[in-house]
Amino acid sequence: MAESFSASAFRGLPGIAEHPWAYPALESVHIAGIALLVGNVVLVELRVWGLGAALPVRPLARLALAVAMAGFGIVVASGLLMFAAAPAELLANRVFVVKMGLVLLAGLNAAWFHARDGLGAADGLARAQMLLSAALWLAVIACGRWIGYV
């Protein structure tokens, strides 16, 4: 599986196969998107936990979550292009499937957090959701790194 992301994996994705740096460039863009996404989610999580109490939570969250959503868009776009390089192989990879399940859980947790106004509540449940969020995103990152090795 380690060679799954070699140039031979690009057969069927026109335009990328003839560029030896295309997949590594996509990976770099994907990682930049992850940094924007997770970094800003962690920023809001820290504020919910009480750090930076002088910063108003709603304006901070508005900015951080807008940047996080931009990062998520970058991750989705670059991820779809990487997926298109070897869809059958990735779908057969248990770690990839687990990663996608974790992304879904992280999204559901975020939707639940915002639907119940976790920012306004800043209660024990909001803090628990923040811990769950951090754990899910760290697991997503770990699975993403592990995909090529199983």
Residue 146: Cβ within 10 Å count: 14
| pTM for this prediction | 0.83
Distances (CA, A) of 115 to 97, 108, 112, 118, 126: 27, 10, 5, 8, 11
Domain ranges of the chain: 16-149
CA distance 129 to 134: 9
CA distance 135 to 126: 14
Answer with the residue of higher pLDDT: 33 or 20.
33
Residue 19: Cβ within 10 Å count: 12
Q: What is the pLDDT of residues 71-127, one digit of tens each?
A: 999 999 999 998 888 888 899 999 999 999 999 999 999 999 999 999 989 899 999
